[in-house]
C-alpha cells in the first residue's frame, strides 16, 4: 500500500472496500433518506506546490436530536487519470475512525467498536481529518475526488447522503496557508494553578466553558501575526477576554490581534528547540446565560483567522512590539482561505444531567430529546480536542509533528 498505510483488521460488520467498485459494508443495503438527517463538506482542498502533505477535514454534521450508533464515509479519486504522485489518505495518527483501503479508494467507519467518541452528538459537527499527499516534482493540477457518507441511528438501517464531488487543486503559489479547527464547547472549565484550564463536567446554564481553536500554517511562507474574529451563539458571552481582543458591546463578538504570534510553514518546523512554531492552540473563556433552558444545542459560533504580513525574519531575535495606535496590520497573502473559518456549537446540559451519553435516542438516554436551535446550515464545529493544558490565551504552542494528527496518535484519538 502507498504511503506506509497497512490494511487494518475488521472488528465490525464492515466488508473490505473493493477498490474497483467501492463496495459497501456487509449487512442491509444503505437506504436513501428523503430528508437529509446529516450533511457533510470538505474544505482546504487547494495545495501549494512544494508542500508534501496538507491536512484537510471532512466536516460531518448530525441534524437530528440523537447520537447515531454508527457513521461511515468513503473517499476515492473521481478521474481515471489521477496522477500517481498525488493521493488522499486517512492520517497515520488516527482520528477518523477505523479505516481500510489504499490510495485508489478507502473508507473509515466509526461505531461501537471503532472510536465511538468521534460520533457527532445531537446537532454536533465533527471534523474528521485526512491528508493530501503530494510527491516532489509535481506540476499544477486540478482534478476531482468523491466523498460519500452514511449514518445509522438505533435499529434503523444506514442512511446515506448523495455522493459529492470536490475539486483538488495544486497551485504554484508560494504564500502562507492557514487553517483553523474549532471543537464544540461541551464542558465547563475553571482556571487552575498556573492558569491551566481544568474541566469540571458538562456545561450547564450559568457556567463557564472555553472556545478552543487550533491554527496551522500549511503553506510556504511565514505569517508575522494572526488576526482572529470570533462570534458566539445567542445566550453565550465572553467571560474574560484577553488584552489582545476588542469585544463588542453585546459581548458576543470579538476581534483579537496577535501581532507577535508568528507561524512558520510546517515544512520549516524541524527543530523543536528553536522557538519557532507552525501551529498554535488558543482559547477564550465564555459563559452561558443562567436563564438558558437546557438541554439545548446553541449554534452559530464561528472562528475566522487571517495571517498578518510577515517580518523579514520571524525566528528568534529582538522582541517585536505592538502596533502603534495609528497603524493597521496588513493581511498576508493566502493560498487557500476556504479553511480559514470554522464553526462551533455550545452544548448546554440540564442541571443535574450528564449530557449526551451516546444513547440511540429511544428516550432512555441523555441525547434522545436534545433540541437544536439556530440555522442548521451553520452547524459547523470541530472535533473534540482535549486541550486542557496551557495558561493565559495561549493554551499550547505545539510543534506541527505533535498536533497534526487530530484525535491523537497511534490510532486512538484524544477524547
Q: Residue 12 above 60 pLDDT? A: no
DSSP string for residues in 109-143:
EEBTTB-GGGS--TT-EEEEEEEEEE-SS---EEE
Q: Give the best-scoring range by mean pLDDT among 132-141, 246-255, 342-351.
A: 246-255
Nine cell digits for residue 153: 441511528
Cα angle 245, 247, 253 (rounded to 5 degrees) comes to 110
Cell numbers representing residue 324 in the block: 502603534
Cell, residue 348:
448546554
Higher-confidence residue: 307 or 94? 307
Rounded-to-integer distance, Cα 129 and Cα 110, Å: 13
Q: Higher pLDDT residue, 9 or 271?
A: 271
What are residue 103's phi and psi, to 5 degrees? -60, -20
- Residue 28 class from Cβ within 10 Å (0-12 exposed, 13-18 middle, 19+ buried)? exposed
3-state secondary structure (DSSP) of residue 64: coil
Question: 263 - beta bridge partners?
Answer: 223
C-alpha 225/C-alpha 229 separation (Å) is 14
Distances (CA, A) of 94 to 91, 209, 241, 404, 408: 5, 27, 34, 10, 7
Using the CB atoms, write b or e for 310-325: b if 16+ within 10 Å.
beeebeeeeeeeeeee
The whole-model pTM stands at 0.74
The predicted-structure confidence for 171-200, as pLDDT tens digits, reads as follows: 999 999 999 999 999 999 998 887 788 999
Question: In the beta sheet, which residues pair with residue 396?
Answer: 281
pLDDT for the residue numbered 339: 86
State the Rg of the chain over Cα. Answer: 21
Listed range (68-77, 296-305, 364-373) with the worst mean pLDDT: 364-373
For residue 300, give the C-alpha cell.
Answer: 452559530
Dist CA 207 CA 290 (whole Å): 8
Amino acid at each position: 500500500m502507498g504511503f506506509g498505510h497497512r490494511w487494518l483488521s475488521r472488528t465490525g460488520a464492515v466488508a473490505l472496500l473493493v477498490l474497483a467498485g467501492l463496495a459497501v459494508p456487509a449487512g442491509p443495503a444503505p437506504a436513501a433518506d428523503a430528508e437529509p438527517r446529516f450533511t457533510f463538506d470538505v474544505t482546504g482542498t487547494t495545495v501549494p506546490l512544494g508542500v508534501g502533505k496538507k491536512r484537510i477535514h471532512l466536516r460531518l454534521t448530525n441534524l437530528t436530536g440523537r447520537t447515531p450508533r454508527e457513521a461511515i464515509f468513503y473517499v476515492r479519486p473521481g478521474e481515471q487519470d489521477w496522477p500517481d504522485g498525488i493521493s488522499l489518505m486517512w492520517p497515520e495518527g488516527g482520528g477518523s475512525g477505523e479505516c481500510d483501503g489504499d490510495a485508489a479508494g478507502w473508507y473509515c467507519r466509526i461505531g461501537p467498536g471503532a472510536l465511538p467518541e468521534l460520533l457527532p452528538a445531537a446537532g454536533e459537527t465533527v471534523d474528521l481529518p485526512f491528508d493530501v499527499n503530494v510527491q516532489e516534482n509535481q506540476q499544477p493540477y486540478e482534478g476531482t475526488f468523491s466523498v460519500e457518507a452514511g449514518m445509522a441511528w438505533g435499529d434503523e438501517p444506514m442512511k446515506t447522503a448523495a455522493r459529492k464531488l470536490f475539486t483538488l487543486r495544486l497551485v504554484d503559489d508560494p504564500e502562507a496557508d492557514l487553517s483553523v479547527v474549532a471543537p464544540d464547547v461541551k464542558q465547563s472549565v475553571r482556571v487552575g494553578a498556573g492558569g491551566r484550564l481544568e474541566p469540571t463536567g458538562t456545561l450547564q446554564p450559568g457556567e463557564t466553558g472555553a472556545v478552543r481553536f487550533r491554527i496551522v500554517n500549511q503553506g510556504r511562507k511565514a505569517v508575522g501575526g494572526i488576526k482572529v474574529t470570533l462570534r458566539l451563539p445567542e445566550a453565550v458571552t465572553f467571560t474574560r477576554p484577553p488584552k489582545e481582543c476588542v469585544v463588542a458591546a453585546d459581548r458576543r463578538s470579538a476581534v483579537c490581534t496577535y501581532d507577535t504570534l508568528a507561524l512558520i510553514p510546517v515544512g520549516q518546523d524541524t527543530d523543536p528547540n528553536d522557538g519557532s512554531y507552525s501551529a498554535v492552540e488558543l482559547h477564550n473563556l465564555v459563559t452561558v446565560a443562567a436563564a438558558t433552558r437546557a438541554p439545548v444545542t446553541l449554534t452559530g459560533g464561528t472562528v475566522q483567522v487571517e495571517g498578518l504580513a510577515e517580518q523579514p525574519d520571524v525566528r528568534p531575535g529582538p522582541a517585536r512590539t505592538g502596533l502603534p495606535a495609528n497603524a493597521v496590520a496588513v493581511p498576508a497573502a493566502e493560498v487557500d482561505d476556504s479553511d480559514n473559518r470554522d464553526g462551533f456549537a455550545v452544548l448546554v446540559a440540564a442541571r443535574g444531567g450528564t449530557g449526551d451519553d451516546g444513547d440511540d435516542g429511544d428516550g432512555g438516554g441523555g441525547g434522545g430529546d436534545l433540541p437544536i436551535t439556530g440555522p442548521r446550515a451553520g452547524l459547523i464545529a470541530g472535533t473534540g480536542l482535549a486541550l486542557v493544558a496551557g495558561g493565559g490565551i495561549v493554551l499550547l504552542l505545539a510543534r506541527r509533528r505533535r498536533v497534526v494528527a487530530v484525535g491523537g496518535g497511534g490510532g486512538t484519538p484524544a477524547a
